Structure 1
Amino acid sequence: MGYKKLYFSVILIVFTIFSVASQDYFLKSKAPFNPEIPSPEAFLGYPIGAQHTRYDLIVAYFNKLAELSDRASIEIYGQTHEHRKLIMLTISSSENLQNIGSLQESHLKFSNPNLSPNNYNEIPIFINLGYGVHGNEPSSSEAAMLVAYTLVASNNTEVLNYLKNAVVFIDPTINPDGRDRHTNWVNQLRANTLVSDPLDAEHNEAWPRGRTNHFWFDLNRDWLLAVNPESSGKLNWYHKWYPNVVTDFHEMGTNSTYFFEPMKPIGSKNPIMPKENYEDLNNLFATFFASALDSVGSFYFTKEAFDGTYPGYGSSYPDLQGGLALLFEQASSRGHIQDTEFGKITFPFTIRNQYISSFSTIKAAVVNKEYLRKYQQNFFKSTQLKLPKNSTVAYEFGDSFDKTRTKYFIDKLLIHKIKVFKNDAKFIVPVNQPQKRMVQTVFETYNKYRDSVFYDASAWSLANFYNMPSKELKNVKLGEEITSTENMVITPKISKTSYAYLLDWDDYNAAAALYFMQSQGIKVTSAFKPFSIKTTEGLKKFNYGTIMIPVSKQKKSSDAVFEIVKNAKEKYNVPVYTVNSGFSNVGIDLGSRNQMAIEKPKVAMFIGEGVSSSEAGEVWHLLDTRIHMPITKIRMNNFNRASLEKYTTIVMVSGNYNNLDSLQIGKLKQWISNGNTLITIAGASKWAIDKKLVKENLTKLPKTNENEILVERLPYVDASENIGRERLGGAIFEVELDITHPLGFGYHSNKLSVYKNNSVYLAPSKNAYSTIAKYTKNPHIDGYISNKNLEEKLKPSASLIVSSLGKGRVIMFADNPNFRGAWYGTNRLFYNALFLGSKISVPRN
């Protein structure tokens, strides 16, 4: 029988079985079951797979299991942006659960490099089954209910053995907000007579779709960055347990089959992950997965796709914690039933594969309990090995100009349990510590790779994300350990004045404090030149961008002004200084023409079909959660009826804006010409050039003589790899920044790290004053880029330019300053565009 026919037959048989005896289809091999424990079907009122289950019902079912059984307990480890509770169901034998505290203590000794327990077989293995990080990959969360029911209710000897020898933590849905967005979509479009046509609306979600969380972030990229509450909650839980095995269940394209590890080879030349992890352990577990899937006729593949290079996946982060992380990818029905190249794929079929792999994971972990414990113990002991002579023993870091950004950086280190010390005014992270590999992840950079085609990012050095000055140390005196950043940033006291207050624009939170004051009706100016002036704290130097609050210019009493300024200072813990005279010691006075009035921005952003939801979500998240500024999100189909005049600034992120016709583009042009600011990011910058919204250009490749071009013949099988090498999955580069330009205000160094994951290369402006940031002569810092892209495209290009249009301007980012909510180092560029953009004029050459 041919492959397609066999696969088609299997699916038809599966669908037939499901329609006759739905519960037996999943659970028959795990009987008998305790009749006092309700199955998911009995609790929900419909068979698993008949429709998509809302998250609140999943939580209710898990609560019921914990209520009825002494094999289960439940805890809340966090909540989502939309206030859905994040839960973890712990399942084991009654005896194990009664002694869970002592078992946890014994288990954690294996992750302490200073201890050497050898009771490997006496302690249950700890397994974390993680499901549903992408909301529109729903099969795994349905399988989670079946797995939980089986472990709680089955009296099968196989299952009882698992309960005795394992503690299983079930996280049913890591992304509840996205799941419910998708669940509501497919359930409301589900017909009684199921429609399998891929073009049916059920299989094609509307923008922004359910993959991402409330702010449209991909939570599977957030384990390292920990920007969202779902991730920070999970990390706090994770570091209390250090499970030996962690699963990461996903879905992929409908016409695929099933994937389990091993993945394609790790891209890094010298990966910090032990080779034993991604070769020996993955191959060992793969035999269990293959056997189980073979037994039901499910097809699968390994090794040829996905990679674990980026350390922030759910399938890679645990690998850096002494555990084994496992990726599973199931072909998706994207609804309840869908036509494929091999017949029809049903929702129940996808659920069963995830259920089978869940139990294969438990089986493999229990069988290899001693091996896994020894591996985790050796992993953490290896972090204490003596370093070679002249090695880096520690990293010193800190930004004296922006203590708030330094604090946020330390917060990130602490959530990953990285030990941080303070010696005088410097912060120090030693290399040899239990989280040694996370220290490497944060500070080390790479430029050599075994593979150049990456599933995702090839650079992740967090020190660069935060634009955090750091240096390597060959010897070190640690000082006092920092365990909390509370009260770390101490700002000067503020006293009332009838003259002026000065807000230091160097502070990361200054933009939020400024917007708070503007929202209370306070009028401000920004210093377009630096100065030194006497404050109540003594003589102080103030940088470009310093915000002045002139008391006598307000429509409020001096008492009211003081209260608003004081509230802003306390709310955001920013440095605000009191001055009683406008006469400077050096530089401009407070009444200078270089003190420019700054109006409160009113911001809108285009969203909807064709627009990058991730980039749009990053902008929304930044303004909403850090500046607390409302942003109007205008769907593209509402463009015609939108009155643009009410906004001072419009943001366009990457996307396909080809649905804007010439009249609509003309409307946008006129709005800009009236004196407003358009901010374009990455793909939108290219669109603005292509549509001649601005008189700028993209970087042109060197001219070649077509008669001299000799095309090399290459094997067809290598085409995708060869073409993929020219894509830029995500790397870090250095730019030279004009810190005298309003977009560069608040920076002290003219060298800045930026993140690039696109093919947008802006040619430097022909106007001498319009190229704000340009890649340096040797720009590569971290990550993979092909030599052709580096030499011919990136090096000649600009990262940030401003182009005038009438009385207004277009601020064009080639790179994303807000990438994944984690680029604190370049957020300031975006803040400056929002608050100072209206004061940017482009001088003529």
Structure 2
Amino acid sequence: MTRLIHFLLFLLSAPFAFAQTQTPDEFLGFPLGSGFAYHHLITDYFKTVQLQNPDRMKLVRYGTTNEGRPLMLAFVSSAENIAKLETIRINHLKSIGLLPGKPDASVPPIVWLSYNVHGNEAVSANTSMKVIYELLNKGNALTQDFLKNMVILVDPCINPDGYERYTQWYNRVRNATPDVTPFALEHEEPWPGGRFNHYLFDLNRDWAWQTQKETQERIALYNQWMPHFHADFHEMSPARSYYFPPAAKPYNQDVTAWQRQFNELVGEYCRKYFDKNNWSYFTRNDYDLFYPSYGDTWPTANGAIGVTYEQGGGGRAGLALERTSEHDTLTLSSRIAHHYATSLATLEAVMSQKEKVVAEFIRFHQDAANAPTGTFKTYLIKTGGKENIRSFSKWLDRQGFSYGTAGKSTSAKGTELTSSAEQTVKIDHNDLLISAYQPKSNLLRILFDPKPALEDSVTYDVTSWGLAYIFGLKAYGLKEKLAPVSIPSTDIKDTTPAELPYAYLANWSSSEDAAFLAQLLKDGVLVKTSNTPFEMDKTSYPAGTLIITRKGNESIAFDKVVTSLANKHFVKLTPVKTGFVSTGPDFGNDHVVALKAPKVVALAGDGISATAFGAIWHYFEQQIKYPVTIVNAAKLADLPWNEVDVLILPDGRYGDIISEKQLEAIQSWVKSGGKVIAMEHATDALVNKPGFGLTKKFSEKRRDNDTFKKYGEQQREEASDSSPGSMYQVSMDRTHPLAFGCGDEYFTIVRDAYERDYLKEGWNVGYLKEDNYKAGFVGTKMAGKLKNTLIIGAQEIGRGQVIYLMDDPLFRAMLEKGKVLFGNAVFR
């Protein structure tokens, strides 16, 4: 009621309010920095100041989170610029070739400030209120100069669901006077924490892959504006000071000289503020510009100046925290002051070089379109049928790439991107062509790069990401320029045949196929599959092909249900008139088995990796839309085993989760027909346990020179036993159902070595031999552990099964064939 009265009084006094922008303190009713503002208050504040400054601010709602919260972006500039905002946007896109025609006027620099991509790095959203106020404060001469010379975009909170999860928790447990004691409850954020979005994905790793709703909606708007500068505001450990550019090595080799130079300039402007106030900071450490899926690197690959700012604090910091490392008390107010200072420094740096910022951005895109660098001038994707490239085509559209089909059959010399083999390639008329002669070709080249050059081994995240690996594509780089002739249609429209078929056959090779199967099973349709290849009507069908027979589906409107679901999921159906095959098992053979609609349970809670669980949750709810029951790991002992078919153990530390007694209960349930899918460190709980066939490899003895390793080289010593994310080709037993639909080559992103021995009893479905490494950084010690080791295994115990996944096929929802493999694990 108090807030309603406050708002009504504001409306009544509106004619007077427009004369002066309301401060955050006045609006919130408490001093900014003395408490965390809830997300709805932040958005209400932005709406309020927009009403007070309609000529200088435009507020756009560009999307909605999974939990229904608004995603908002404020456009702030001079009244003259706001009045012609759409004209500025169109002229800008014309100047870089993303819209046809030539601009009729120059444009000012466009600067995008993004706050709070990680929800519990909550200083950022609170800082955004101070930033928007000062930009609109007519008494601030510096910011008014910004508005005359730039268009500034302010996103107050990229991750509202995570931010609200954190602030709701903190505001419930905080003391009336913040407790600065590091071990106080208000500094111990509970599982899963506020860092991630609703599905517990790290949105700062999602820029390139765009698997999450928030990312897709934000980048759709980003591509309409293509800012010259993007700043991403973060927090790190509370023991640390403040990080701003220059960035650390390694830089991606495609970061231009101008971008490197401006990275240095931004640091100069930041130092001015921090030195003046005697604030601690560091540069050139930890935060590199290599992996192209961050809020600094993806914009950089799009031609912008992309930077990251990191304030010491994060979820542990709360409102105030005593720090022995700095001999001070870290407060929310001080954290806001630091982020506000770098926000101003960003804008000052851009304004100091405003003409060159625009000119270099235009040059970046014109060079990309007219004289692209790199060996390959065209990328060829073998489609093998429209249904196989749909997910990739959708991804291309989200990135803003131009592409099309070859239009005619021909041949060319090309390099196969996963093997680096040069060969003559047959090009079919419906194969995809992506020309390097387009404004976004720098991003295209970086993302296709199968072996990105790494100038420094100490890096922050994934070091290999080639699109051919990620999407399981047969892809080639061509040195000659080939122009696509048409936009491919990925629509597949199946209608009921005139003569009602004996059965429908459906391919099994993509995440769309998994979604199709999940929907069929959920709707009670009987679906079978062949565990061996077969041939009929002179057509070969691989093992794993879905067989949907009329027999057994008499209780449903068979043709209508099956064809409508196939259309929905863009699955091509092949109607057949008989259950007799020319080679392989007939449809009534024991090798053609029915697939069950399983009751699936996944563990969550303390001890479980939040992101690993989140990837599973997202897979079921958003990718294949099949029900999954989430159970608190602490309640595992109370699970009604007779109601569960599949139990998923995500990556985690299971020492306090699975007792010996619970392990016996799990094994008894498996013997009765249950299935366990144990992933990554969850497999530790099963190693060398009676009845489970998983064992650890014999490790080499410590090398003598390890005894005399140098203290000053400890960071590199740690790197030698790590793989932040490297690409491996997994050797697969393609006759096993876990491998069905995974293609001739299955690639995975390896981030750890589990040193599992091959199964003596069971099936070694996927494993690494001596030469399975493909790309990315792997430390010298780690490399040895990733040889002759099990990655994917299956063991029958009684009537049930245990599946061991030492590498996560659902990692960040990136790997297309990983989604197929996980579908096999669940349904087959």
TM-score by length of 1: 0.88
Distance, in Å, in 2 between the alignment partners of 1:806 and 1:77 is 53
Distance, in Å, in 1 between the alignment partners of 2:144 and 2:574 is 67
Amino acid in structure 2 at the alignment position of 1:548: I
Partner of 2:10: none
Pairs aligned (count):
784
Q: Report the Cα offset of residue 719 of structure 1.
A: 0.9
Output one character per residue of 1:747-786: Cα deviation in whole Å (capped at 9) or x when no partner: 442x21111112223222224x611112254222221112
Amino acid in structure 2 at the alignment position of 1:574: V
Partner of 1:181: 165
Partner of 1:15: none
For the 8 Å contact 1:260–1:289, the answer to whether it is kept is yes
Partner of 1:334: 317
Gaps of 5+ in 1: 1-32, 837-845
Partner of 1:53: 37
The yes-or-no answer on 1:71 pairing with 2:69 is no
For the 8 Å contact 1:421–1:427, the answer to whether it is kept is yes
Q: Report the Cα offset of residue 585 of structure 1.
A: 2.3
Partner of 1:395: 379
| From 723, 741, 749, the counterpart of 2:736 | 741
Amino acid in structure 1 at the alignment position of 2:299: P
Q: 1:300 to 1:507 in 2, by over 3 A?
A: closer
Q: Report the Cα offset of residue 487 of structure 1.
A: 4.5
Query: Following superposition of structure 1 onto structure 2, how do residues 123-142 of structure 1 map, counting pairs within 5 Å?
Result: 123-142=107-126
Distance, in Å, in 2 between the alignment partners of 1:77 and 1:400 is 36
For the 8 Å contact 1:135–1:182, the answer to whether it is kept is yes
Distance, in Å, in 2 between the alignment partners of 1:730 and 1:680 is 21
The yes-or-no answer on 1:717 pairing with 2:712 is yes
For the 8 Å contact 1:607–1:636, the answer to whether it is kept is yes
For the 8 Å contact 1:113–1:377, the answer to whether it is kept is no
Output one character per residue of 1:459-501: Cα deviation in whole Å (capped at 9) or x when no partner: 121221111111122324323243xx66444557556737433
Output one character per residue of 1:60-116: Cα deviation in whole Å (capped at 9) or x when no partner: 111112222121011111221122221110001111111212222333344239999
The yes-or-no answer on 1:417 pairing with 2:410 is no
The yes-or-no answer on 1:615 pairing with 2:596 is no
Secondary structure (helix, strand or coil) at the match of 2:282 reads coil
| From 761, 766, 771, the counterpart of 2:764 | 771
Partner of 1:6: none
Q: 1:579 to 1:204 in 2, by over 3 A?
A: same
Q: Report the Cα offset of residue 385 of structure 1.
A: 5.9
The yes-or-no answer on 1:315 pairing with 2:309 is no
Output one character per residue of 1:211-267: Cα deviation in whole Å (capped at 9) or x when no partner: 000100000000001111111111111111121111100011111111101121115
Q: Report the Cα offset of residue 393 of structure 1.
A: 1.8
Partner of 2:437: 432
Distance, in Å, in 1 between the alignment partners of 2:370 and 2:20 is 53
For the 8 Å contact 2:187–2:318, the answer to whether it is kept is yes
The yes-or-no answer on 1:243 pairing with 2:227 is yes
Amino acid in structure 1 at the alignment position of 2:284: K
Q: 1:455 to 1:743 in 2, by over 3 A?
A: same
The yes-or-no answer on 1:648 pairing with 2:630 is no
Distance, in Å, in 1 between the alignment partners of 2:246 and 2:691 is 48
Partner of 1:546: 545
Secondary structure (helix, strand or coil) at the match of 2:322 reads strand
For the 8 Å contact 2:528–2:595, the answer to whether it is kept is yes
Partner of 2:254: 272
Query: Following superposition of structure 1 onto structure 2, how do residues 183-262 of structure 1 map, counting pairs within 5 Å?
Result: 183-262=167-246
Q: Report the Cα offset of residue 691 of structure 1.
A: 4.5
| From 504, 525, 529, the counterpart of 1:526 | 529
Partner of 1:171: 155
Amino acid in structure 1 at the alignment position of 2:458: V
Partner of 2:751: 757
Secondary structure (helix, strand or coil) at the match of 2:802 reads strand
Output one character per residue of 1:620-641: Cα deviation in whole Å (capped at 9) or x when no partner: 1011112111111111121222
For the 8 Å contact 1:136–1:210, the answer to whether it is kept is yes
For the 8 Å contact 2:387–2:572, the answer to whether it is kept is no
Identity of aligned residues (%): 26
For the 8 Å contact 1:761–1:798, the answer to whether it is kept is yes
For the 8 Å contact 2:697–2:756, the answer to whether it is kept is yes
The yes-or-no answer on 1:806 pairing with 2:804 is no
Amino acid in structure 2 at the alignment position of 1:471: Y
The yes-or-no answer on 1:454 pairing with 2:451 is no
Partner of 1:290: 271
Partner of 2:422: none
Distance, in Å, in 2 between the alignment partners of 1:795 and 1:394 is 35
Partner of 1:514: 517
For the 8 Å contact 1:405–1:466, the answer to whether it is kept is no
Q: 1:74 to 1:113 in 2, by over 3 A?
A: closer
Partner of 2:470: 465
Once superposed, what is the RMSD of the aligned Cα atoms?
2.4
Partner of 1:28: none
Q: Report the Cα offset of residue 566 of structure 1.
A: 2.6
Is 472-481 or 813-822 further displaced after alignment?
472-481
Secondary structure (helix, strand or coil) at the match of 2:248 reads coil
Partner of 1:18: none
Q: Report the Cα offset of residue 49 of structure 1.
A: 1.5
Partner of 2:6: none
Is 39-48 or 570-579 further displaced after alignment?
570-579
Distance, in Å, in 2 between the alignment partners of 1:491 and 1:115 is 37
Secondary structure (helix, strand or coil) at the match of 2:772 reads strand
| From 131, 144, 162, the counterpart of 1:160 | 144
For the 8 Å contact 1:770–1:801, the answer to whether it is kept is yes
Q: Report the Cα offset of residue 200 of structure 1.
A: 1.9
Partner of 1:356: 341
Distance, in Å, in 2 between the alignment partners of 1:552 and 1:786 is 56
Gaps of 5+ in 2: 1-16, 407-428
Partner of 2:282: 301
Secondary structure (helix, strand or coil) at the match of 2:294 reads coil
Q: 1:267 to 1:687 in 2, by over 3 A?
A: farther
Distance, in Å, in 2 between the alignment partners of 1:356 and 1:215 is 33
Q: Report the Cα offset of residue 715 of structure 1.
A: 3.1
Distance, in Å, in 2 between the alignment partners of 1:118 and 1:715 is 59
Secondary structure (helix, strand or coil) at the match of 1:43 reads helix
Distance, in Å, in 1 between the alignment partners of 2:75 and 2:553 is 59
Secondary structure (helix, strand or coil) at the match of 1:587 reads coil
Output one character per residue of 1:586-631: Cα deviation in whole Å (capped at 9) or x when no partner: 2211111111122111111111111111011101101111211111
Distance, in Å, in 2 between the alignment partners of 1:177 and 1:290 is 33
Distance, in Å, in 2 between the alignment partners of 1:176 and 1:97 is 26
